[in-house]
Each structure stands twice: as C-alpha cells, then as structure tokens.
Structure 1
Amino acid sequence: MCCLLIFVLYAMCDIISIACLNCNGLREINKFEQVIGKLKTDVICLQETHWSEDIMVNIKKIWEDDIYVNHGNQRACGVAILIKRGGIYKVKQIYNDGKGRMLGIDFMFYNDLFRLVNIYAPNVEIERKGVFKQMKPLCTGNCIVVGDFNVWCTRLDVSRSANFKSDVSRKFLNDLMQSEDMADAWREENPFKKEFSRRQMVLGNLKQSRIDLCLVKKKILHYVKNVRYKFIGVSDHAAMTVKMGVNMEARGGGMWCLNSALLKEEAYRKSINGCIRGEMENSLFEENVCEWWEMMKGKIKKRSIRYSKQRNFMRKREMEGMGSMLEKEAEKIENNPEYTKEHFFRIKAEMEMYEKEKCEGAIVRSRAQYAVEGERCTKYFLNLEEKKQRKNYITELENEEGEKVTDYVEIIEVVESFYKKLFKKENVKQECVDEVLNTVSASLSDVERNKCEGDMSIEEIKEAIKQTKPNKSPGSDGLTHEFYKTFKEILAPILIRLFRSMEERSEVPESMGLGVIAILYKNKGSPLSLNNYRPLSLLNTDYKILTKVLANRIKGVVGSIISPNQAYSIPGRDITDTICTIRDVVDSMDKDGEGGLVLCMDLNKAFDRVEHGFMEQAMRKFGFGERILRWINLLYNNAKSCVKVNGVLTNPFPLERSVRQGCPLSAMLYSISVEPLATLVKRDGEIRGIPVPHGGLSLIHQYADDTTFTVRDMESIKRIMKHFETYGKASGAKINIEKSEIMSIGGVDMSGCDTTFKVTKECTMILGVNIGVNAKEARDATWTGILNKIKQVLSVWKLRELRLRGKVIVVNSLLLTKCNYVLGVVDLPVWVLNEMKEVLNNFLWGGKGVKISKDTLIAEYTEGGLKLIDLEVKRKAIRVKTMKKYLYDKVEYGWKGFMRDFLDKSSGCGEEGVFMALKKPMFENIPLFYQEVLSAWAEFLMDVRYECENINQILKQPIFLNPKIRMKGKMFYNRLYMKAGVRQVKDMAYEYVRG
C-alpha cells in the first residue's frame, strides 16, 4: 500500500491548464475537431463560436464531457467553456448574459473555490464599456477572467503603426483592475515585452495587437505558472494558454507506449537493430534467455525514449526558428508596407502544416473519436467514427457496503479490492465437476490431439506476428505489434528460443505474466457500480504472440468437440447461425399450436469467473494432450494483474480465475469451458426442447456468454436451473437474474419457477436482433434501430466539407456495414430500402436533388464510378451466401432443418429443389427471409455451371425450372405435372431390371 500512496500523492500534486481562443466562427464540425485536437487543456474557453441549439447535438457527440454555452447568433458572438473530466470538479454555472458575450462558472481546484469568466467584448467602444460594467460584479473571490477584450491596455500591446488613441472602455477596465485588485497575468510576467495575440491583413497592411487577456486576482497570482500565446492556424487570434497549480507534476502517469511513427525512421530502426544484436553477445543470452529478454526490453524502452526526446528537441528547435523568422518578417512588413509578403506567408504555411501533423499524431495516440482527415477518410479514422468508449476517469464509486466513495485514494483501493476478490478462486465442488464432465462424450482424435502437441516453429511465430491486430494498446512493456512486425526477422529466432526456455524451465518472464486491466464503463446501469464496468486486459505483445501460436493450434481442432449450438470463436461458424436458428424456432413454436418458452440467460462476469481448475479438467476430458495443458497451466498459474484507474496502477495481484479478455486464447478457452453446460442440459431427457424439421432438437443456443434456451414448459426451465446450479458450483458461473429475460410463446404458463426473471411479452433482444412472435414487428424494430444509428452518424458527417468521393467512402465503410449483420438474419422490407435511399441521397447531395445516377455511382473507378455499395445487391449476395452455407457447410445448424422443410414445400423435390429457379408464387407461404433467399438463388442459378457425377444425380434432377434442362433456350414449367407428382427425371424414367 505504501507504493500506491506514493503514486497517488504524486498524482494529487497537479496543475490545471486553461486555453482561450477567439475562433472566428466555429460552426464547421471539422474546424471544431481541429481546435480541440490542438488545445489539449483541462478547460477550453472559446469566443465567437457562432453556435446555435441546432448544432449543439453534434458538438456534444464530439465533446462528451461538460460544456457550458452562451449563444449569440450564427454570424456573431457566442462564448463557450469546455471542461475535461478529471481536471476541475464541482463546476457550477453562475452567469450567462444571454447575448453571447459573457459566461461564468465556479469550480473547485486544490480544495479551494475559483471563478472563471469567459468574455467576448464588442468592437464598439461604448458597448465594450457596457460589457465591462456587467463584468465588474463577477470579479470577486478567486476570480480569473479570460477572453477577447477587444482593447489595448497599454502602448506595448499594439504595433507601432497603430493609432493609440483614448478609449473610455480602456480607462474603465484599468480602473476596474485597480479597484478589484486584479492584474494582467501575462504583463506581470513580461512587463516590457511586446508580443501580439492577433494578426490581420487589412488592405494589404499587417495589423497586430494583444487583445486576448488573462486577468486574475492578485491574491491568487502565485497560482499562475505561465501564460503563453501561440498561433495554431485556425484563426487570426493566437491561442492563449494559462497554467495554474502548486507544482508542475502530472496526474498519474499511466504507462509508456512506443510511438510507432518512430518505426518509419531508418535511424531508429538501425539503432534498435544494433542494440539487439549487440546484446545477443551478452553471456546472459545463453545462460537465461528469460532474464535476458526482460533486460532487453528495458534497454529498448530506454533507447526509444532517448531517441524520441532528441527527435522532438530538434523538431521543437526548428519550430522555434520558424517562429522567430515569422516575427522578423512581420516586423519588416510593419515597418515597410512595400516589403514583399511572400516569405511571411510561406513560413506561416510551413508552421501550420507542422501543427497539423502534430495534431494528427496526438489524435492517433489518444484514439480520438474524430479526426480532420480531409478527403482521404482512411479506414483507421473511419473506424474511429464508431461511438467511442466513455472516458474512464472515475470520480466516485460505491464500496462493498454500498457507501459512496469520492476520495482519490479510496477509489483506487475500492477498485483494487473489487478485482482482487473477483479474480480470487472459489472452492468449487469436485463432485459437481465430475457430474458435469461425465456428460461430455466428444473428444479429439489422436491426429487432432497431436496437432496441438508438436514443437513450435519459427514459421508459426512469424505467422502469429502477421496475424496480431495493429493499432492495439500494448501491455506494460509498451512495445506495440508494429514493433514486432518491423523487427520480425531478428525477433522471431529470439522468441522461439525464449518460448522453448519457458517450457523447459516452467518459467514465465515477469512482464509477460503481468496484465494491466483497463476498466471501461458499459454505458448500462449505474456508473457507481464496478459490476457495470468491462475489464479488458492489456497484455504484452510477446505474450500475445505466444498465445496466438497456441490459439492457432486449438482453432484447427476445436470445431470437432464443440456442438453446433455454440458459434463463438469456432472457425466457420457465425453469430447469424445462432440467431437464425432461434428466429425459426420461435416462429415454429408460435405456429405449431403448442407454444413454448424462451429464456435469455445473462451470465454475471462470465469470462472473469471461469475457474482454472475446471477449465483444465474440461480440456482434459475433451482429449487435449499433456503438452498443450502444461502451456495453459504455465501461463495461467503465473498470471498476475493490476488495474489501471485514473492513470494509476494498483498493486499486482494473482489471477486465480478468469480467461483474460484481450488474450488470443480466451475466446476458445471460454467456449470449451461453457460447452459442458450444453451437454449437461441436452442429456436430460425430461427437458422438452423444440423439434427441428428433419430431425434434431432445439434446446440451448450459445454465443460466448449469451445463452438462450427454447423449451416447451416451465418444468423444463426448472430442470435447466437445477442443472445450471450444478454447473455453477463446478465452474464458478453465476446468473445475473436482473438482466435475464423470459418470454412465453402461445400463452404457455410461466408460473411456478423459483427464479424471478424479467418477463417480456411480444419481443426480446437476442444478440442485437429483435426476436418475437410477430416476426414483422420484431423485424421493423430491428431496422428502426439500425436506421437511427445511421442517421446519428450522418448527422455529424454531413456537416463536414467532404467531396462526393469522401462521402461515398463514409457510406460504404461506416453505414452499410452496419446493415450486413442484420441482413444476415432478417428480411429487408421495401420501406427500409426507401428510407435508406432518402437518407443516403440527402447525405450525398445535401438535399439538393440527385446529380449523378445510382448506376454511375455504383460502377468501378475505371468506369467512372465511385464503387458505392448497392444495398439491394448486397442483400442478394448475403442471401446467396446463406444458400452456399446450406449446401456446403457440414455442420447441422438448426436453421438448416427449417430451410430444408421450406425448400421441399416450395419445390416438391426435397433437397434437389436447390437446382430449381423457383418462381415467387411457389414460395410465397414461407417466411420472408427465406423468400429472399430462394428469389436471390433463382437469379444466381442462371449463371451457375455444374456437372452431374453419376446416374443417381441425373435421375434426381428436377425437370421443371431447371437451367440445365432447356428447350430452345427456355426452361420447362408445367403446374399440372408438378401437382401430379411428376417433378424429377426419375418420375418419367422406366426402371430397367436385368433379365
């Protein structure tokens, strides 16, 4: 705890920074993003925003922390105060003049009450004096006033060529400062210096002045560390930055992370290469490669930091040199109006370009939600358009007793205690473990087992490095995926040696075993409860490479032991398989006259509660060999974690249970651990599941920790709960009753269950899709949610000045991809297509009418098009993909039985109906989703070429609507023959018997 207290005391000794900028109008969203990207301060005071209520919806989507506004109109005035979470607290608005000129707040900082006033004074002298009069009563207590005062306080605040005439507002302001005991903070620090905060070219003449000020009460002047002006290229005003605090220390520093931009520089690559090769000569490399690797990573970190500091120093010096040159050029222009201004604008443009690059780098490092990316709209930045996770600075929590905790140290202690307890193993009952695992019959074959047991190869390691996802936060050592990819050739042989040594010595390097848990609020439930936070393990990349090798081996065999009702992490299976089966089963229960019950079970902290002992025994039962089990035990028995909260790392604690979310192995280990629940339930003959056409039973459907049961009666639910209780005692699993739901189909009685589930009547959300008795209503509710999300995203993007090509990329990358998932499980009605068309046309053409035809937009670049995705064509492609899966995927998903039934009813030819280009009247009585499948398949079938391999295939071929059987280029169709049962070639052929 001592170490923790030192960390926290360091974090508590903090400063706050306040930025102030006259924006010259800030209605353009991309400009707003650029401004907040450059002003990285705790508080941002903006003047001349020109905002109105209609634009605030989009502003608040980008700035998710506190914001106080005082609107003027769309052409003038407007002030705003933006506050980042964690800088100041207990903020309260105390003044708003209602004219967009002045805004005041009170806040707490360093256990003291402060006041901040943001002012935008008028250009007209008498009006300016009036605003200063309104300001005077606010200047009490620990007051700070910042903003554009639009007046020169002294002769030093204006260029020589200006006419420094008398001004009644200046006199009033100076008298106010004297009577209220206030000072110009910048002038106090620079009594004789001339520096300007505004530059204008007026009729070819450069006008400069310092009118952006920071006035503070003299009694708190010692809090002000410095005031700086800096032109950032978005306004003719400089940004003024004020730093206040007791010292210059930073809040909890978090972890070092390699700047991957360094990897593009040859000098850096050469330096690291030389460092690694040099250290390979160290005798420790031969004696104990685990210890050597820890030392090596430390040296790489130190060298990277040193290189980065030198690089940044040189760049800063270049910028300072350009700034000095710009000042000299400005002075020359001021002294000689005839002096050429070309050099001034060239230097200014270079500085603006540098600032833009610096801003973009900061946005990438901070994973900002929005970035000014112009027309390129690269995939990385487009992905950032998705709704970002809420900022994870925690100001208050509830402890175990339910008491609210706000103290910085106590919050960290509550977090550490919660996760230490969560990841502490419980005493599972071995008799329950035996009962659960005795129901498991599936096992790996000898061939499959041996695939997981062999020696690791360099090729496997290189492939794992290749597969590791980029742009992911690294673990405690700070070395990114991009680092390993860059130095793959030299690191792969080292890693194979390291992994072999780990296996031989049963030893895991300390940093490799340590995971840093980042906790993210789920945006559901109270933020005071840690139960509503998702723990994500930030693991070192060397650990991920090792576990990726192991995961690739397990991935190749796991499909043979996990039943079709589980789709999570199993190669070839998809979440849509689970949803489609549940959808069809619910429809069947509604129509078969018996009805049933649908139980959507939510598991509490499912991944975090997996007991390692149970996981090992389950893997052994499924037939995994000793070597892969030793690897799993080695990695998990040595696992430790600490939690990162408010920039501080808690003390490390053992990870006695859980599968780490963020580890390449975790998904498959979880699926293996939860599979015995399915076998336990399915082995109970007294549980009444729902029959699936052509054999099979629908009972349990799993996707990760989402588990759905479909049964006939409440007695079956009772037995399921009894089995889950046994499974929970064996594995550590626990139901979250508050989030679990039950739905009755066909009026089936739901009374008599000891567990009080939440009851839903007509529809329930399963894996993001509405499933209900009324299929059309459920479908419409799903599509309405998708359309609302699309409109929400477009409401931000449409305010950007994108060209048509950029807009098309946005549509393809962000919007229509949102439809893919839903398209895989529900039909696409006409009203959705029409509304989607209207929304997209409005976005592409700004509501001014279509200027380029859809056929042109969807064409290839080489044909003059922009490759706009056609949603109708996309639907057909996904429907053909469904038919392909039906035909070629050997796994018998539940939905396949229903489709086989619908196909037979439509064609009368059983499975051979897939060779028929069916007409719409033939399948109009089956569910709309399958109507779309058969319609798309009929169109696709016209261009399919295939050969019959034997006589049986020929005899089974449909006679009618078969593209293979034509006369004069046309297919046959005779409804009477079909009705009479003459449908296939065999129905018209005589049987020949020898003799």
Structure 2
Amino acid sequence: QWWDVGKVKIKQLCLQYTFNVTKDMARSLRALEREVVELQGLADSTGEREHVEVFKSKSSALSDLLGFSAQGALVRSRFQNIVKMDAPSHFFFGLERKNGQRRLMHSLRSNAGQLLQESADIRQCAVEFYKELYRTEFQAEPEVAQSFYEGLPNVPEEDHAELEAELSAKELQEALQSMQSGKAPGIDGLPADFYKALWPVIGDDLLSVLRDSLSNGRLPLSCRRAVLTLLPKKGDLQEIKNWRPVSLLCTDYKLLSKVLATRLRKVMEHVIHVDQTYCVPSRLITDNVTLIRDVLDLSGSLGCELGLISLDQEKAFDRVEHQYLWQTLEAFGFSSGLIAKIQVLYRDIESVLKINGSLCAPFEAQRGVRQGCSLSGMLYSLAIELFLHRLRSKLQGFSFPGWRILILNNLVSSMLAHRLACTDPPVNLLSRVQALMVDFFWDRMHWVPQSVLFLPKEEGGHGLVHLASRGAAFRLRFVQRFLTGPADLVWRPVARALLERCGGLGLAESLFLMDLKGLRLNNLSGFYGGLFKVWGLLKKERPECCGSLFWLLREPVVRGSRFVCGVGPSLQQRLCEERILMLGQVVEVCGPRLDNAACLASRLSLWSVRVVSLLLQSWKQQLSQSELALIAAHCNGLKSPNDNDSFPEMQCFPDLSSEGFLLKLENFTDFKFSTMSNKTFYFLVTKVLNQSRLQERVDTRWRAHLGLTEAQRPEWRALHKPPLTKRGGDLQWRILHATIAVNAFVS
C-alpha cells in the first residue's frame, strides 16, 4: 500500500540524515578533544589570559557536543530521564553497551539437549520454538464451551454505540499525546515522537488509512508485522523459554489499539468479577494482597487452618487462541462491530524474531495476544475470566466461626512487590536503610540535615525518599480506599471483621470518626495498630451538619470527634459495655427527641437519671434542626438509611505542634481526604515526622545576611531545569544552603 511505501521512504531519509550527522559529530568531537588537550597544556604552561579564554570556550563546545551524544545513548540505554545520571560520563555511555550485552544470546540448548553456539543454529532454534508456540491448537468443542459461557455478565446495551463508533481524529490525537516519548519503534522505525512532531501534516492521512483498514478488515503489512525482541528472565538462559518475548509494534498500530483499549476499559468492570484486579480501572493489585494479609491475620487469631494456592500459567499471553477469544467476547455480549475492529488487529499477523541484533524471516502468529499492545492485558483478563468464572461456581469457600461465609477467589498473586504498602517491616530496619541512603547521597560529609533532603525540590530539598513517611502514606492510602473506595472492594468485609476487634468496640468505619488516643490496640495486628498511629498524625475537620441519615446514625457518641461527651470515664465505660456507641443506638433507646433519660439510665444500670438527662441534652444541642428532622423521619418510617451514601467528607491537615519556615503548607491546596493523592499524603507526613528538625531552619542561610522578606524566596525548582546542567544546579543548591566545601575547617 502507499502508506507502507511512504513510511519506507521516510525511514530511508532519516537513516541517511542520521548517518551524515553522526559522522560529522564524531569528526568534530575528535577535533575538539585534540584542541582542548593542546589548549590545556598551553594554558597551564603560559598562564596567558587569551589561552585560558579559548580553552574555556572549546571546553564548553565539547560539553555541548557530548550532551548531544548522551541523548542517543539515553534512548539506547533505556533510561527515561538523563537527569537520573551524571551524563555524559563513562559510566553513562557504558549503560548502552551493558544493555546490549545483557540481551545477547550466547548459546541455546536444543530440544535434543545439544548446546548450540553458532549464530545460525541459535536463530533457527529460536524461530522453530516460536513458530511452534504461536501455532494454533484450537479444537471446537461446542458442548464444553457452552458450559463455560453460562451465567456470564453482559456488556450494558447503552455502551454498544460508543464501543463500535467510527474512529475519530480526536481519539487518535488523544491516544498519541498519552504515548510516552523515547520508546523503541516498530519495524518501520518511526517512533511516537515522529507522529507528535508531524501530526498536523500526517494526522488526516493516518485517520483515512486506519478507517479503510477497519472497513476492509486488513491492516497495512508494516502494522501486521511485529519485531519480537527477547528479554532475559530468571533461570537458565540456555533454555529459550526463559526469554520473555516483547512485540515491538509500529506506532500507527499502537495508536489504533490504544483507541480501542480506551473504549474497552470503560466497560471492563461490568464483565470482570470484582476479585480480578488486572487491567480493570479503579482496582489495584494491592486489593488482592490486602485480602490475603487480612484473611491470614483473621484465620490465625481464630485458630483456623488455611492454605493458599498460587497458579502460574506458562507463556500465558502467547497461548490465547484467537478463535476462543472471539467466542469469549461474543459470550460477554460485546457487539459484532467492536469484535470486528479487534479482529482486524490480529488478522494475518506475523512476527519477525530479533536475535543478537539480526532479524529472522517472518512467520505467522496464529495465536497469542501481543505483549506491547494496549489491548493485550484486557484481552487476557477476558480470556482467563471464563476459567475463573467456572472455578467460582465450584468453590465452597470457607467460614470463620461466628462470621458469615467469605468466598475467596483468584488469590493468585505474584511476590508481594509492595511490602511496605501491606506489611510492617522489622524494628529499626527502615532507620538502617535510611541511614545507608543518606550516606550514599553525601558520599562522606553530611552538609545538610537529612530532614531538609526529604523536602520536595520546590521547597529547597532534594526529594530524597523518607521511608517512614512512605510507609505512612501507604497506610493513609489504605484508609482512604477503605472509606471512600469502590463499593465492591473485595477485601473490605475481612478488613471490617478485623477492625471490629479494636478496643472491643465492634466498630469499623465509625472508628475513623473517633478520637482513638489512649485506646488499647493490643488485639490488633501490627499493620492495623500502625494504621491508627498514622491516622493520628493528621488533624481532621468536618462540616457541622451531616446530610446522610446512614452516617448520622453511625456517628460515635463515645470518643467522638464531633459529639462532646462531658462525663467521666466510668459512664463512658458503661456505654461501651452496653454497646451504646453510636447515635443510632442512642435513638433506639431514647427515641427521636433524645428525651427518655430514664430508659437509658436503666439500660446503663445508673441511679442518677439527672446525669443521663444532661448528657442527652448536650448531644441534642450539638445536632442541627435538619439532622433532628432526619432522625424523626427515620423513626416515623418516612426515611430509611442508604448504605450507599458516601463516607462523611473531611479535611485533613498535618498535626504540627510547632511552627517554622519549612513547615508551611503553601504548596498544598487540596486537603479533602477523599481526593488526596498519595504524593500529598507523603509530603504532609514528612513534615509531621521531621517537624522537630525543621522548625528552627529557614529555606536559605542567606536570608538574614541579605535582609530578605518572607515573600522573597529562592526559585528552587529552576535549579533542576534546563538550561542548567545537573552539576551546575547542584552547585547552586549548595551555595543557597551555604554548604560549599573549601577543604578547610574553622574551629
């Protein structure tokens, strides 16, 4: 097609241009290096100002040229940001060589056990393996298939129109802008950066080509061919199965798949069960890890024997049969229009294996979803969902004594990658690791307190990770997800069961509306005990009036953060013993007007009705007229509590007992708990945990010497942006902190 011919011409032009530029750059680099060496000798021997100036000029030009070379090495070394490295150093340029050597295949073992070391033999062995892997084994068995398709959820009818709508230029452009720059291109050699730069020129042509392809049912040849590059995994690398294939796809193909993936993502939660978190929006792998942790905790405390089974499917993505996938999509109720669009991506596709830098002959891929395609994860989730659906229909689950049955499905989990998010580390481990990190940062002398290094760059710090704050931020994120996350969180019932053991109160969500200082947490696991300690690092502010009947009835009256209980500890203890802890329980005993003090006194076995009456009057005065009306309507049967109501909104601020220049919160605007990001949690907690060290410090040591006002502040962020180099920015950062080493000590 003309589209493929055009891409070939563009690739040839770019290759020729790059060849010429690289040759000229190498020649200039060698010449500059010679001149710099000669000028350095002249400047050292004569000391003449003219030679020194020329030497500085040539050195600057050499540095700029090395910077251009570093950009190429950056892409080939697969580092995303040159700021991460002290480029252009020997170590930096060595990354490119190291990355290439790591992917070299020096030998392979054949099926017969023979060790192959010749390049031709290695290529032939690898190609035969993947030809066999991608050869279809599909056999139609309608009766067996039907038993798997029964009872599956379907895509809502109202979503079909959007799913199968015609491809639009807006969708393509949004997909392009969301693609990362610097990624490896497909077989046509044209990366996403090329399309971003020339979108006004080629955007309409690409839209026309993709629309024609969807209507004709066949993509251009370059889109159908993927370069299969192999990355080493764990294990014996002489076994071809221990190399992971990744498909390098052309950008135009990836744009189409990204548009379809964006559409498909919107309906995944309707067809994928709640216990499957892979590639489903608003679900996290930590949901599965949290469920595992809490089930182990609860079963251990109740003396239940429990085991976990982890299943690992070999070459899972590569074994998905296309015909099975189309039938599965149809069984989930996807429209024929959307299925046809996805089929175009997999019709007559081929793979070209890349071994040790050389491309092999293309071969047909009759099955498998391409790792590198935006759709692949969701397609695999849909494909495996039938198996999981069948398992769920057979599993009986288990029951905890005294608790309702909890069906545990899909507890298949990889290693606990985010241990800090789900478990408490051993005592002193974080502090030891933190000390090693700070030592590595300074490489001997600690010129600035580490508490300053933990601050974000825009506040004069270096953004060095404070491990204790990172762990605390994960805990706050857990609370946020527990209270305000999706209604179908798979681990929430187990977490409730664990939280209800806190202080023997039998409360879960309502605990986070209470003041828990002084409450015994002995019967909680280390994770949940630490959870409430972290929760205490924040101050909470809530609206005076609650508009939800559900949460109004669950408002704590003991240790409440809203209702002031001006009575002694003995009365509070009696309320806890009689399980009268929330406003709804008080209303059940005393009526909607909270006026039956005698009944409550009798329930609490108290002689003094007057004390109870004063307590009820105090609670009633703290309720607004609208809240009293809600309670009256509820008691009269006119209104029922809705358990789908959102958790009461609150604003959270760091509990700072001291003031200081570096403890201000001017860079933070969103303190709404339900929408706070993990980054905001982290930086707020960092200030709380380091406040004793930050309260006496100012942003720059020059403030008093220069007589700066509070409004006059350094532009710290500018030190980390071009045109400043990393080394230059670090030097200016040290100057502002007055920490320049002069190789002399003043006693």
Judge same fold: TM > 0.5, yes or no.
yes
Question: What is the distance in 1 between the residues matched to 2:305 and 2:100?
Answer: 41
Q: Give per-residue Cα distances to partners, 1:679-704, cap 9 Å, x unaligned.
A: 1011115x5446699756343326xx
The reply on whether 1:834 has 2:411 as its aligned counterpart is no
Instruction: Give 1:575 deviation, angstroms.
Output: 1.0
Partner of 2:415: 768
Does residue 677 of the first structure (1) align with residue 274 of the second (2)?
no
Q: How far off its partner does 1:475 sit?
A: 0.6
Letter in 1 for 2:438: N
Deviations 1:356-377 (A, max 9, x none): 2354134213216799969878
Find the counterpart in structure 2 of residue 466 from structure 1: 177
Structure 1 position 872, deviation (Å): 2.6
| Cα distance between partner residues in 2 of 1:886 and 1:918 | 18
Hey, what does 1:405 align to over in structure 2? 116
Residue 900 of structure 1: CA displacement? 0.9
Instruction: Trace 1:629-640 onto structure 2 (pairs within 5 A).
Output: 629-640=339-350
> CA 1:403–1:309 in 2, change beyond 3 Å: closer, same or farther?
closer
Contact 2:39 2:55 in 1 (8 A): no
Question: Any idea what the Cα deviations from partners look like across 1:732-760, whole Å, max 9, x if unmatched?
Answer: xxxxxxxxxxxxxxxxxxxxxxxxxxxxx
**Partner of 1:454 in structure 2?**
165
Match of 2:591 in 1: 991
From 530, 538, 544, give the equivalent of 1:940.
Answer: 538
Contact 2:35 2:58 in 1 (8 A): no
Q: Distance in 2 between matches of 1:436 and 1:414?
A: 39
| Contact 1:859-1:867 at 8 Å conserved across structures | yes
CA separation in 2, counterparts of 1:910 and 1:355?
Answer: 62
C-alpha distance in 2 between matches for 1:546 and 1:640: 17
Q: 1:873 to 1:346 in 2, by over 3 A?
A: closer
Distance in 2 of aligned mates of 1:856 and 1:655: 55
Which of residues 424, 448, 451 is equivalent to 1:852? 448
- Length, aligned pairs only: 586
C-alpha change, 1:918 and 1:898, in structure 2 (3 Å) is farther
1:582-597 → structure 2 map (5 Å cutoff): 582-597=292-307
Counterpart of 2:495 (choices 899, 919, 923) is 899
- Aligned pair in 2 of structure 1 residues 470, 934: CA closer, same or farther (>3 Å)? same
TM-aligned CA deviation for residue 618 of structure 1:
0.9
1:110-259 → structure 2 map (5 Å cutoff):
none
| Contact persistence 2:516–2:559 (CA under 8 A) | yes
Equivalences for residues 569-718 of structure 1 within 5 A = 569-684=279-394, 687-689=396-398, 695=404, 697-701=406-410, 708=412
Q: Are residues 1:548 and 2:548 paired?
A: no
Q: 1:920 to 1:603 in 2, by over 3 A?
A: farther
Residue identity opposite 1:843 in structure 2: F
Q: 1:857 to 1:396 in 2, by over 3 A?
A: closer
Q: Aligned in 2, Cα 1:401/1:967: closer, same or farther, shift over 3 Å?
A: same
SS at match of 2:410: strand
Counterpart-to-counterpart distance in 2, 1:632 and 1:324: 58
CA contact (8 A) 2:278 2:285 kept: yes
Matched, 1:360 2:70: yes
CA shift in 2, pair 1:932/1:339, >3 Å: closer
Change (3 A) 1:945 1:938: farther
8 A contact 1:465–1:488 mirrored in 2: no
Residue 881 (1) aligns with residue 473 (2): no
Q: Within 1, Cα distance between the matches of 2:487 and 2:273?
A: 9
Residues 393, 327 of structure 1: alpha-carbon distance in 2 compared, 3 angstrom cutoff = closer
Shift in Å, 1:390? 6.6
| Aligned counterparts of 1:584 and 1:994: Cα–Cα separation in 2 | 40
Richer in strand (by share): 1
Q: What's the offset of the Cα at 1:654?
A: 1.1
Return the index of the structure with the highest Cα Rg.
Answer: 1
**Cα distance change on mapping 1:389 and 1:912 into 2, 3 Å:** farther
Q: 1:413 to 1:980 in 2, by over 3 A?
A: same
The gaps in structure 2 that reach 5 residues or longer are: 593-634, 638-747
One-letter amino acid of the structure 2 residue matched with residue 503 of structure 1: L
1:927 aligns with 2:525: yes
* CA deviation string 1:240-297 (max 9, x = no partner): xxxxxxxxxxxxxxxxxxxxxxxxxxxxxxxxxxxxxxxxxxxxxxxxxxx2211221
Query: Residue type matched to 2:562 in 1?
Result: K
Aligned-residue offset at 1:346: 4.3
Q: In the TM superposition, what whole-angstrom CA distance separates every residue of 1:899-953 from its partner, at most 9, and x where no partner exists?
A: 1112223243454333223246443312221222233334436345474114553
Compute the displacement of 1:354 (Å): 5.2
Go from structure 1 to structure 2 and tell me whether the alpha carbon gap of 1:695 and 1:353 turns closer, same or farther (over 3 Å shift).
Answer: same
Corresponding residue number in structure 2 for 1:531: 241
- Give the whole-Å Cα distance in 2 for the aligned partners of 1:596 and 1:338: 82
Distance 1:639 1:946 in 2: 62
The letter for the 2-side match of 1:342 is: V
- Quote how far apart the aligned CAs of 1:862 are: 5.9
2:221 equivalent among 510, 516, 522? 510
1:320: Cα distance to partner? 6.5
- Cα distance in 2 between the residues matched to 1:343 and 1:896: 69
Separation of aligned partners in 2, 1:373 and 1:662? 26
8 Å Cα contact 1:565/1:700 also seen in 2: yes
Q: How does 1:854-869 map to 2 (within 5 A)?
A: 854-860=450-456, 864-869=460-465
Q: Secondary structure at the match of 2:307?
A: strand
What's the CA shift for 1:505?
1.6
Letter in 2 for 1:391: R
Q: Does 1:917 find its partner at 2:627? A: no
Residue 877 of structure 1 aligns to which amino acid in structure 2?
A
Task: Using structure 1 for the length normalisation, give the TM-score.
Answer: 0.54
Partners of 1:406 and 1:324 in 2: CA distance: 42
Q: Which runs of 5+ in 1 are unaligned?
A: 1-290, 703-707, 709-765, 770-781, 783-820
TM-superposed deviation, 1:608: 0.6
Q: Which amino acid aligns with 2:107?
A: E
CA distance in 1, matches of 2:571, 2:538: 19
- The 3-state SS of whatever aligns with 1:535 is strand
What is the aligned partner in structure 2 of residue 153 from structure 1? none
Determine which of 553, 560, 570 is the counterpart of 2:270. 560
- The answer for the alignment partner of 2:721 in structure 1 is none
Percentage identity across paired residues of the two chains: 25
The whole-number CA distance in structure 1 between the counterparts of 2:499 and 2:385 is 32
Candidates 131, 134, 153, aligned match of 1:420: 131
Residue type of the partner of 1:980?
E
Q: Is the 8 A contact 1:695 1:897 kept in 2?
A: no
Cα distance, 1:548–1:324 mapped onto 2, change above 3 Å? same
User: Any conservation in 2 of the 1:516–1:537 contact (CA below 8 Å)?
Assistant: yes
Identify if the C-alpha distance between structure 1 residues 299 and 695 changes in structure 2 by more than 3 Å, giving closer, same or farther: farther
The Cα of 1:659 is off from its aligned counterpart by 0.6
Confirm or deny that 1:955 pairs with 2:547.
no
RMSD: 3.7
Higher helix share: 2
Change (3 A) 1:293 1:330: same
Q: Deviations over 1:220-256 (max 9, x none)?
A: xxxxxxxxxxxxxxxxxxxxxxxxxxxxxxxxxxxxx
Partner deviation per Cα, 1:875-921 (whole Å, 9 max, x = no partner): 23221211221122224333211211122232434543332232464
| CA–CA separation in structure 2 for the residues paired with 1:973 and 1:936 | 29
SS of the residue aligned with 2:309? strand
Match among 954, 975, 978 for residue 573 of structure 2: 975
Distance 1:446 1:415, change over 3 A: same
Note closer, same or farther for the CA distance 1:966–1:372 as it changes in structure 2 (3 Å cut).
Answer: same
